[in-house]
Every structure is written in structure tokens, then in C-alpha cells.
Amino acid sequence: MTNKLRKIMDKKGPIKKIGVIGMGYVGIPAAVLFADSDAFELVLGFQRNSAASGYKIEMLNSGESPLKGEEPGLEELIKKVVKTKKFQCTSDFSKISEMDAITLAIQTPFLSNESLEPDFSALIEGLKLTGKYLCEGTLVVLESTITPGTTNGLARQILEEESGLTAGEDFALAHAPERVMVGRLLRNIREHDRIVGGIDKVSTDQAMELYSPVLTKGKIIPMTATAAETTKTAENTFRDLQIAAINQLALYCEAMKINVYDVRTGVDSLKGEGITRAVLYPGAGVGGHCLTKDTYHLERGIKISGGKLDYPDGRDSLFVLARKVNDFMPVHMYNLTVEALLRVGKTPQDSKVAILGWAFIRNSDDARNPPSEPYRNLLIESGCNVHVHDQYVMEYPGVSISHELSSVVDSADAVTILTGHDEYSKLDARTLKHLMGKESPVIVDGRNVIEPDKFIAEGFVYKGIGRGDKNDHAIK
């Protein structure tokens, strides 16, 4: 860092115009919160006018949210900032040159988890467009979750090549990872602490100036860019690990014929004296755009750092093992389904199975990497007649999703719950049995949303993840 950048920023004055690239689950709430702040004059949401997502531009500019799940306060805030002309969505990327700060909230999936090959194509395109129109004194922030080392490496390189400017001299560059969860996007941005990591002090200061106005409860935590990237990938990796631990325990409890939720309550009861037991919930699998890949960003970070790692060659890290445990849970759901059908003398091949829930998380339309997909594939491969219900998910490539519960469960041999939507916890055993029209219908609960005894009493064959206390019950 030279004083040159400090001088440029002081001369330029405070950040007033912000460009947010990527109108998705991260970019939209971030953009409207910036726009709703009195600290800023104008926010432009940049969205490619592509066949797949160009529709968002018109929707947003007419004050409507393209996100279909339950998102408290989002639709109202979009309407407000569009009406006050503080927010516009555009596909004219040349307007980047008019902005004081640019944030990139673009998906960063993996091509292969084995080779740790990320698919940065969309991110690279976003960086190239930013670099093409980048002006001196602009702050660029990556909000996407990225491999540690990317901000100071690939991103810096592309921005400098495209703009002819130098990061840390002519423009500021930082990483400020998103920490949002669908269903509470606005609250998470306002209330979670914000990790901010610049490639140098001036960049960190600029990024702190950008995010401070939108925080209500959260505080800014400054660090280096690589530490910020590692913080983000590690916090999701730790969560995945915690879920893997309870999933492994659930498998053990089934084998020992006990109820994992009794054990969970017990383990969770040891509190106080600084003891925290973050015991999460077992289930049919871990989906979404974050936990399914961030472990691999962390693993790749070690690889590209070139640092000497003192750990046995070729042995899976604890983190990768956790990924494999969680990726096994849809397979376990399949095994439970086959076992339950067998109890009524059926096989997948001569059965209709109704899958309830396609979204990766409850009460949301977000269907990125849904655990229901590998589960459905296994059923299909075994010749099963599979139908899918989800009230939130509009469509999914290659899968017909119905919003009509009664038609999906009609004459089904088995109903299997893959997502914990509130609607499924209200399932009535007698009504469902009637719709299925079976003497001994099967129900497999992958999210612990139903009361086993109520269904067993109605003659169902029940299976539940972690419910070793019920899974071999006598059939009524």
C-alpha cells in the first residue's frame, strides 16, 4: 500500500454510488439495504440480460422480488427503494464507471470435488466486466465465498489486466463474505457481524466505510483478505462437521435401537462454565450452495497456498470425511425406504413413492444441490415410480414437481419427507392413509417432522432418521 491510494480516496470523498453485480439471494438484499441507507445516494443492481435470469431486471424495476420463498420485509423494501429511485436494476455494465464501490455476489460452485476444480467462470466474467469499466479510486469487494487466496490472486490479476490500474495503488480491493441464510436474508445482513478483509489497510478501511451503515446489531471485524476468505469457508465447514457428527450419531442410535433426539437433548444439556455444545439436527442430507462446496474451497486454499501442511499424505481431512458422511444421508434415506417397503412385501420396482420436499431447506424455494436429488436418482435407478411435491419450488431441470399434495400421495405405497416444510408437520395420519389407499402405507421421515406414534396407530409402517426406538415397531 502506498499513500497514493489514501490520497486518491481522501480526494474522492465518501462512497455515494454503489454497484452490486449478481441479483440473487445475496446481491438483491445487499443492494436494497445499501439503497435504503441515508449514507448512499444510488445503488445499481447489475444483472446480465440472459435467457435464464434476465427476467429479474424488469421484476426488480417494478418493485417485485424474484425470490419466491418466505423472505420477511424484502418485497416491501424493494418497492420502497425503487419508488424513491435509490435503486435500479440494469444490464448496462458500462455504468460501473460511475460507481464508487462495486460488490460481486456471484455463484462459485465446484466442477469436481475430487480434483478440487472450481467453476469460477461466472466470477471471472463478473471481474472482467468490472475491470473493463473500473476507474481510479473505486473499491471492489468480493462477497462470494471463494478459495482462500483468490482476492489477492486471481481477482487482483484480472482486475489489473482489464483496467490497467494497480490494486492497492489506484483502486481498493477487499473480501467481505456474505453470511446470509434464505428465509432471513435482510436480518442476517443487518445483524450478523461483518468480516472485512482488504488486500491492504486502505482497502479494509474503505470496505468498513461501505458496510458500517447497513449494520444494526452486527459489528465489523477487520482482518486480511486471506483470513477473511478462510473465516468464511471455515465457518461453513465447521457447520457441516457439526451436522455430520449428529448424522453419524443418528446412524448409531438406529443400530442401537434408541432415539437420537433423547441423546441429543442429553448431550445438549451440558451447559454453563463456558461449555457450549452446538449439537445440530440429523436429517436426510445437506444441500444448498454453501455447505456442499465450502469445505472444498478450504481444502483448495491449502493446495494453492503452496504452504507445507504437516498431515499424512492422501489421508482425507476431517472436513472431507464430514462431507462424505453428509453425502451418505440421502443413501441412508433410500435404504430406510427399501427396508420399510420390504416390511409390506414390496420392492421399489413395484412401488409408487411420493417425495415430499425438493428445496434444500425448509419454507424456501431454494433448490440448489437438494439432498432429494440423489435420493430420487437411487429410486429411479431401482425402477421405482417416483412423484415429487414441493409448494415453493416452481421448477427443476429434469424433475416434474407438483404443488398438489393429494395427487402426489394418491395411491402411493410410501411417502418420504426430504425437506422440513411446515406444511408436512401438519400431515394427518388418517387423511394421508385414505389418500394412499393402502392397508399398511409406508412413511419415512427424513426431517423428524411427524409424530411416529400417530402414524403407527393408523397402521403405517414408519421409519425415521435416528429413530432406532421406533424403526422396527410392530405393524398394527
Of the listed pieces 51-59, 81-89, 136-144, 234-242, which binds ligand SAJ according to CB under 6 A? 234-242
Does residue 127 sit in helix, strand or coil?
helix
By CB under 6 A, what part of segment 142-171 binds ligand SAJ? 145
CB of 448 to ligand SAJ, least distance (A): 10
Q: What is the DSSP letter of 154?
A: I
Of positions 60, 290, 444, 461, contacts ligand SAJ by CB under 6 A:
290
Of the listed pieces 126-134, 167-175, 232-240, 373-381, which binds ligand SAJ according to CB under 6 A? 232-240
Q: Is 198 in the site for ligand SAJ (CB under 6 A)?
A: no
CB of 468 to ligand SAJ, least distance (A): 18
Cβ-based nearer residue to ligand SAJ, 169 or 327: 327
Q: Is 236 in the site for ligand SAJ (CB under 6 A)?
A: yes
Q: Are strands 414-417 and 352-356 parallel, antiparallel or unpaired?
A: parallel
CB of 285 to ligand SAJ, least distance (A): 6
Of positions 179, 293, 376, 387, contacts ligand SAJ by CB under 6 A:
179
Cβ burial of 280 (10 Å; 0-12, 13-18, 19+) is middle
By CB under 6 A, what part of segment 270-289 binds ligand SAJ? 280-281, 283, 286-288
Q: How far apart are CA 277 and CA 269, in angstroms?
A: 8
Q: What is the DSSP letter of 467?
A: B
Does residue 345 sit in helix, strand or coil?
coil
Looking at the DSSP bridge assignments, the partners of residue 401 are 388
CB of 181 to ligand SAJ, least distance (A): 4
Task: Quote the radius of gyration of the chain (alpha carbons, Å).
Answer: 25
CB of 89 to ligand SAJ, least distance (A): 22
Q: How far apart are CA 235 and CA 232, in angstroms?
A: 5
Q: Is 30 in the site for ligand SAJ (CB under 6 A)?
A: no
Q: How many residues bind ligand SAJ (CB under 6 A)?
A: 20
Q: How far apart are CA 148 and CA 393, in angstroms?
A: 33
Nine cell digits for residue 219: 459489528
Cβ-based nearer residue to ligand SAJ, 131 or 370: 370
Q: How far apart are CA 221 and CA 454, in angstroms?
A: 49
Nine cell digits for residue 156: 487482483
Number of C-beta neighbours around residue 417 at 10 A: 27
Number of C-beta neighbours around residue 190 at 10 A: 17
Cβ-based nearer residue to ligand SAJ, 176 or 361: 361
Q: How far apart are CA 148 and CA 232, in angstroms?
A: 9
Q: Is 181 in the site for ligand SAJ (CB under 6 A)?
A: yes
Nine cell digits for residue 63: 418493485
Q: Is 180 in the site for ligand SAJ (CB under 6 A)?
A: yes
Cβ-based nearer residue to ligand SAJ, 93 or 211: 211
Looking at the DSSP bridge assignments, the partners of residue 43 are 18, 87
CB of 129 to ligand SAJ, least distance (A): 23
Q: Is 360 in the site for ligand SAJ (CB under 6 A)?
A: yes
Residues, the chain:
476
Q: Is 127 in the site for ligand SAJ (CB under 6 A)?
A: no
Where on the chain is the footprint of ligand SAJ (CB under 6 A)? 145, 178-182, 235-236, 239, 243, 280-281, 283, 286-288, 290-291, 360-361
